[in-house]
Chains A and B, each alone.
Chain A
Amino acid sequence: MALITASNLINITPEINALTENSSYAVGIFKYYLYLAIIYYDPEKRQDLRRVLCYNFLDKTWETLYRESLTNESQLNFISSKIRVFNDNIYILLESPLGWQTLRSEFRENSREKVKLVATTLSPEILNLFSYRQWLSFEDNLYFLDEKGNLINSDLTANLSEFDNEIISEIAVFKNYLYGATVNLERGFQIWKKGNQAPLEPVITNGAYRYTLNEKVFSLVDFQDCLYFVTGVREVGEYSKKTWGIFSTPNDFEIIRLYPDNDWDIIAGTPRFTPQGLKVPLSGMGPGLDDLSHPQFQFLKAHNNALFLGIKTAEGLQLWVTENGIDWMTIPEYEFSNFYQVEVDSVFSIVWGLILVLKVTDLSGVKTLQIYQIK
């Protein structure tokens, strides 16, 4: 059985000795290549740099596409690097107190070639992209979700705020409907959907009847004709006002899948009575996948006909994979257990494999960026 589809884990982090806590970076995928935009201090050359690198998966090499030396960058405070791919272009923003540089890809006939980047002034519309967290196209309209949880070009935000919703945390297009998932601290998350002609309708409310222990939806992933999502309380760091410690374990996340007819099932989580009937976890696992170290959710990604889940456990990053959504297996060789702490920055599913961008703290406390390719 080819359940564990990934057989190779390759560290493809560029060897530039620069990806530290005090650098700013962004990673993006564009036309078969991986792009890394960074602002950092190069200790060998003793200078601050803005730099864009491109990774070629075929010959396994990094190449610098853009490099700019900086002076007096105030010890690299308030710096920001962002990459956006939009309308068949890649846009890069490298921002610091001394100013900002914007780059865009130049048109190429052969899309399999790496792009050439040109420094240019970007239109306000494109600059706005850098403040959006997520966007998608639905029924000939573009919908943008900003960092504050407002859905631009839609009355969805205003409508949902009437129901005690704080923000929209995730959006997705699934089976000809636009889905919006909310953060709701009073009642638990809600998921709503809207069709082209169909009015806005609630799909799940009350945190799937786990109430405020499911106050946020972390991801919406289309996989095998279902919309999978992870839900729970917001991260502990965000959550100083609530003393969840008294509840011992229940702040662990759940995995739920949603069907096109609004029915749903718990994949991993707490069994419960609901208006839609008795719901029991189909995988047989409780909240947090029964991991007693109360793992933190990191990512959920469909890739290569499988669904991948990353969680941060006491022992490092743990990857799980399923081919049918119900039977989950860990991938033991990908426990990043030799690190003190690992957080997933971003994940990409491309033809070359699953790309994991990780923020890693080693046992001596040194923080680095690491990029892995799982074939």
Chain B
Amino acid sequence: MSELLIILSPPRSFSSIVSTMIGEHPDLYGFPELHLFVGDTVQEVFDFEYKLAKRYSGPHGLLRTLAQIHDGFQTTGSIMRAVAWLNERKDWSTKKLMDYLLEKISPLMGLEKSPPTARKSLFIERVYSLYPQAYFLHLTRHPVSTRQSWQEFDETIKNRKLSNNKSVNIDKLLAWYQVHLNIIKFTNTLPVGQSMRIKGEDILSYPDIYLPQIAEWLGVRTDQEAIEAMKHPENSPYACVGPPPATMGNDWKFMQRPHLRSGRIKEPSLIAFFRQEKLQWLSPQFEEILLENELKLASEQEIITEITNLAGVLGYQ
């Protein structure tokens, strides 16, 4: 059995609830977002976190994990101890830190799901070079739903002035396309069975059908008790808002309502969306940069065709 399962997905792809559900399997330990694979050292992870979200003391999910593992609970006090512990180890490699966490949860299999990992091929390749035996689960969500959720999330971040990201904007459909492409290009290089793909809509709509299959693939228990545990993500110590100063670590909405809700998740129509929406793929600033570099974006029709084709491969229309 591998010691690590990595979930790869763009942001806003049900990754918080899905990873927490899978992580509630008795043989697994579901970490919150560790954001470890964005750098080679803990210092680089700190730098990335500051760039991403103005955080000085490291990823919230990582701090919550350290507090939980060291003290057995998450309070402001235990988080502060985690901050101090981590500060003393900025020179550690991310591999050393991840190994440390895996050792602490042993013999359970660790589950990591940080969306930033799939943002760049470099980050994904880093995971693989450090953990070549890891399982990889490619999690998908309909492009239109992802875009809408992503835009809402960005709006919230903007209003709360949490982001330090000054990069120019692209439409979230382009981002959806690029991140999935990063993942597919990587998983295509893996041996048969080391990676699997699942639609988030399927697992949330039909957990009794898909959770046992995931357990079977991972080679862990598939009995009723184990599957029932997976249907209760709210039991995870990371399925709630964390204590200050590490309140995050999972999706905000999920942490406020962490229960699995019954019912089928509807998938919108991509064709209808393209028919109705007039999209501005790039912000004027981005277009200006392209122009300065004598580059130009593909035509509207080419972009729509590419996105539609990729959606088709992932099972979305």
Which A residues are within 8 Å of any B CB, using their own CB? 185-188, 206, 209, 211-213, 241-243, 246-250, 270-273, 275, 277-278, 280-281, 284-286, 290
Contacts and interface: CB of A to CB of B under 8 A. Distances in A.
B206 A247 contact: no
B314 interface: yes
A249 B193 CA distance: 15
Q: Mostly helix, strand, loop or mixed at chain B's interface?
A: helix
B192 A270 contact: yes
B283 interface: no
Contact of B315 (A211, A243, A278, A284): A211
Interface in B65-110: none
Contacts of B291: none
A248 B188 contact: yes
Contacts of A281: 192
29 contacts: A185-B312, A186-B312, A186-B317, A187-B315, A211-B315, A212-B309, A212-B312, A212-B313, A242-B309, A247-B184, A248-B184, A248-B185, A248-B189, A250-B188, A250-B313, A271-B196, A271-B217, A272-B197, A273-B196, A273-B198, A273-B202, A273-B214, A273-B217, A275-B206, A275-B209, A277-B209, A277-B213, A278-B216, A278-B217
B181 interface: yes
Contacts, number: 64
B315 A206 contact: yes
B135 to A, nearest CB: 12
Contacts of B152: none
A285 B210 CA distance: 23
B209 A243 contact: no
Nearest to B214: A273
Contacts of B315: 187-188, 206, 209, 211
Contacts of B196: 271-273
B306 interface: yes
A284 B314 CA distance: 23
A248 B186 CA distance: 10
Give the contact-size bracket for chain B: 20 to 34
B305 interface: yes
Interface in B260-306: 305-306
Contacts of B198: 273
B128 to A, nearest CB: 15
Contacts of A249: 188
A246 B185 CA distance: 8
A209 B188 CA distance: 17
Given A187-B317, A271-B193, A246 B181 contact: yes
A70 to B, nearest CB: 47
Contact of A280 (B184, B188, B193, B317): B193
Contacts of A270: 192
Contacts of B217: 271, 273, 278
A278 B220 CA distance: 14
Given A247-B184, A278-B217, A211 B312 contact: yes
Interface in B236-275: none
Nearest to A285: B192
Q: Mostly helix, strand, loop or mixed at chain A's interface?
A: loop
Contacts of A284: 192
A243 B313 CA distance: 12
A216 to B, nearest CB: 13
Contacts of B213: 273, 277-278
A213 B313 contact: yes
A285 B192 CA distance: 8
B197 A247 contact: no
Contact of A273 (B181, B210, B314): B210
B273 to A, nearest CB: 15
Nearest to A286: B192
A132 to B, nearest CB: 31
A100 B196 CA distance: 56
Given A250-B313, A273-B198, A278-B213, 15 more contacts: A186-B317, A187-B315, A187-B317, A209-B315, A211-B312, A213-B313, A243-B309, A247-B185, A248-B189, A249-B188, A250-B188, A271-B196, A273-B213, A278-B217, A286-B192
Contacts of A186: 312, 317
B314 A211 contact: yes
Contact of B313 (A211, A271, A272, A286): A211
Interface in B148-202: 181, 184-185, 188-189, 192-193, 196-198, 202
A129 B21 CA distance: 58
Nearest to B186: A248
Contacts of B206: 275
Interface string B109-126: 000000000000000000
A243 B306 contact: yes
A258 to B, nearest CB: 20
Contacts of B192: 270-271, 281, 284-286, 290
A247 B314 CA distance: 12
Nearest to B198: A273
A267 to B, nearest CB: 13
Contacts of B209: 275, 277
A281 B196 CA distance: 13
Contacts of A286: 192
B186 to A, nearest CB: 10
Nearest to A247: B184
Contacts of A248: 184-185, 188-189
A115 to B, nearest CB: 49
A229 B184 CA distance: 26
The 8 closest A-B pairs by CB, nearest first: A212-B312, A286-B192, A278-B213, A248-B188, A211-B315, A273-B213, A249-B188, A278-B216
A360 to B, nearest CB: 32
Contacts of A250: 184, 188, 313
Contacts of A213: 313
Contacts of B185: 246-248
Contacts of A242: 305, 309
Nearest to A280: B193
Contacts of A278: 213, 216-217
A186 B317 CA distance: 7
